[in-house]
Amino acid sequence: MNSRFVMAAHVLGMLALHEREDAITVTSEAMAESIQTNPVVVRRLLGDLSRAGLVETKRGAGGGVRLARAPESITLCDIYKAVGEGAELFGRHPAGPNPMCPVAPMVAEYLEEVFRRAEAAVHQSLGGTTVAQMSHEVDKRIRALGGKGCR
């Protein structure tokens, strides 16, 4: 799978941390530096997250990004769905099952049900963690090392 989910979770985690310190919005460039990627890549993610109603962005000087909702109300499953839309957890082989063979389509069809169950299991697992929990835990570990905030 893509690393989009990891980056998106990283973004939301940072926003939750900064929200606690102060209400200042964060720029895509600052986040790109933390993730070690290009600001444009971050903005592409932000587009999905914004459409999903998880973050709010503001253009222009002094603009940036902040959480659109309370971090307690955002789960990792929300993020997963926001950035993974259309992407399947399990890949099918491109050609599909042989329609001439009577068993192949049936196997493929049955596997789709299995995949739906597995996907639901992932959703439930990710849904058990909120962005607030994540930021709390991360914050705890940062303090344990005596560090201060990023920037």
Residue 43 touches DNA, criterion: CB under 7 A: yes
Report the partner that residue 98 touches, choosing among DNA, a copy of itself, none (CB closer than 5 to 8 A by kind): a copy of itself
By CB under 7 A, the residues from 101 to 140 that bind DNA are: none
Report the partner that residue 44 touches, choosing among a copy of itself, DNA, none (CB closer than 5 to 8 A by kind): DNA
Q: How far is the CB of 41 from DNA (least distance, A)?
A: 4
Query: Would you say 61 or 103 has its CB closer to a copy of itself?
Result: 103
Query: Helix (H, G, I), strand (E, B), or coil: what is residue 83?
Result: helix
Question: 79: which residues sit within 8 A by CB, 6+ positions away?
Answer: 5, 8, 9, 12, 49, 54, 126, 131
Distance between CA 121 and CA 30 in Å, rounded? 34
